Each structure stands twice: as structure tokens, then as C-alpha cells.
């Protein structure tokens, strides 16, 4: 990555934070007492993910299930999250978050031991608009005092992270975790500049 990149913005869910256990618990709770098994629900999620759809709400709607409360206690940082943030911080990059999250994102980042490396948190609950709305990205630029051409977006969602960031002129990195394992770009607008399979692979881009 060229050195004019000063700011690196991360998504949270399925990017820095592993949500797989939270989804598993939520699926068990939603399917309890029904004829739908967790395995059926998960397969339908994968089917929708392969169509580049937001898989969880799509599967819930398909089966006519009501979503239960999100089990925040089942969210955990990926094993290399702190390592890669420390690596980037030591390299002199400024680090931010642009994420669709419920209230208290900064507090959760502190609990996970990640906040010490993060300078800006632009979260949907506090700002009042969510990705892919370009306003959340622009607000993050204003908070960081940077321009889009000096920033990169790292995220798992082609629709929420990659496409809007490209539209604004950011460089983009698609991390294939979570639903992204089953997705593929459908047009040049959804084609990231770089693709990685885990957080540690970011060291091959940011040197």
C-alpha cells in the first residue's frame, strides 16, 4: 500500500470481531420449539450469502422467524485482531472504525482490549446513519481530519464496506470472513483493491 495512505478504517463484525458463536446461539434460540433445525437455518443463510444478500435477516424472513436479542456476550475478537492493530499502529498508520453497531461500540472495543490502538470510532447508533449510507464515511473523515484518497476501508461486506468506500475514492480491502466466505463481487463496483482471508494477511499489504 502506498505511503500516502494514512488512515485505515475497519468494520467491526466479522472483521475485527468473530460473531460466529453469537449467530449460533441466536439461531438456536430462534429455532427452539419449531420444526426448523439450526442446521436448516444455517444452510439457508449460506444460500442467501451466495446470492450476496444480507443472509441472516433473509433466512429469518424465509422461515417466518422473529429475531431474538443479539447475544453480545458471545462476540469475541479474532485471535489476531490485537496483533494486527498493534502492527499497523507501530507502522505509523492511524486507525479508525466505521461500523453498523448498537450503542456502546467504544466501550466494547475497550473491553476487548482493542481501543488503545483506535483513534476514531464512527458507529451507526451514535451518528444516526448506517452503512452503506455515504454520510457515515464522510463523518468518519471529518472526525479523523483526512481525505478519502488518504484512507482505506477494510471490511467483510461488499455492499456495506467495499462499494460505498470505492464510490468515495477510498482504497478497499475485502476480508473473507463470516458470510464473505460464500460471496463474490457481482460487478466492478464491488471489486476490492485487495482481498485477504484473515487479519494477519494485512501485513502483506501494509508494510
Q: For 37-84, write each residue's pLDDT tens digit.
A: 999 999 999 999 999 889 999 999 999 999 999 999 999 999 999 999
The per-residue pLDDT of the chain, averaged, comes to 95
DSSP assignment of 106-144 equals: HHHHHHTT-GGG-SEEEEHHHHS--TT-HHHHHHHHHHH
- Model confidence pTM above 0.75: yes
Is the per-residue pLDDT at 25 higher than 90? yes
Contact call for residues 199 and 81 (beta carbons, < 8 A): yes
Per domain, the residue ranges of the chain are: 7-18+75-204, 20-72
Distance between CA 41 and CA 60 in Å, rounded?
A: 8
Q: Fill in the DSSP letter of residue 64.
A: T
- Tell me: the pLDDT tens digits for 86-103? 999 999 999 999 999 999
Sorting pLDDT into bands at 50, 70 and 90, what band is 1?
low
In this structure, whether the domain defined by 7-18+75-204 belongs to CATH 3.30.470.20 is answered with: no
Residue 52: predicted pLDDT: 87
Whether 2 has a pLDDT exceeding 70, the answer reads: no
Q: Is the pLDDT of residue 181 over 60?
A: yes
Give, in degrees to the nearest 5, the angle at Cα 57 between 55 and 61: 115
Residue 112, pLDDT score = 97
CA separation for the pair 126, 122 (Å, rounded): 8
Grid cell, residue 205, equals: 499489504
Tell me the per-residue pLDDT of 158-176, one tens digit each, with 9 for 90 and over. Answer: 999 999 999 999 999 999 9
pLDDT at 3 over 90: no
- Residue pointed to by grid coordinates 496483533: 83
Write down the pLDDT at residue 15.
Answer: 98
Task: Give me the mean pLDDT over the 132-151 stretch.
Answer: 97
Q: Is 190 helix (H, G, I), strand (E, B) or coil?
A: helix
Looking up cell 450503542 gives 103
pLDDT at 4: 72
Amino acid at each position: 500500500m502506498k505511503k500516502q495512505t494514512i488512515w485505515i478504517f475497519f468494520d467491526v463484525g466479522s472483521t475485527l470481531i468473530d460473531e460466529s458463536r453469537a449467530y449460533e446461539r441466536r439461531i438456536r434460540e430462534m429455532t427452539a420449539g419449531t420444526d426448523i433445525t439450526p442446521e436448516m437455518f444455517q444452510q439457508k443463510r449460506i444460500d442467501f450469502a451466495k446470492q450476496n444478500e444480507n443472509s441472516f435477516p433473509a433466512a429469518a424472513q424465509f422461515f417466518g422467524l422473529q429475531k431474538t436479542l443479539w447475544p453480545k456476550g458471545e462476540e469475541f475478537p479474532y485471535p489476531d485482531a490485537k496483533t494486527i492493530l498493534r502492527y499497523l499502529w507501530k507502522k505509523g498508520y492511524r486507525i479508525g472504525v466505521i461500523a453498523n453497531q448498537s450503542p456502546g461500540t467504544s466501550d466494547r472495543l475497550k473491553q476487548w482490549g482493542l481501543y488503545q490502538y483506535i483513534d476514531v470510532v464512527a458507529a451507526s447508533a451514535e451518528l444516526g446513519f448506517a452503512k452503506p449510507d455515504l454520510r457515515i464515511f464522510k463523518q468518519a473523515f471529518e472526525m479523523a481530519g483526512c481525505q478519502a484518497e488518504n484512507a482505506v476501508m477494510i471490511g467483510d461486506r461488499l455492499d456495506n464496506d467495499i462499494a460505498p468506500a470505492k464510490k468515495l475514492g477510498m482504497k478497499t480491502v475485502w476480508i473473507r470472513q463470516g458470510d464473505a466466505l460464500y460471496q463474490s463481487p457481482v460487478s466492478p463496483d464491488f471489486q476490492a483493491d485487495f482481498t485477504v482471508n484473515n487479519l494477519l494477511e494485512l501485513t502483506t499489504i501494509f508494510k
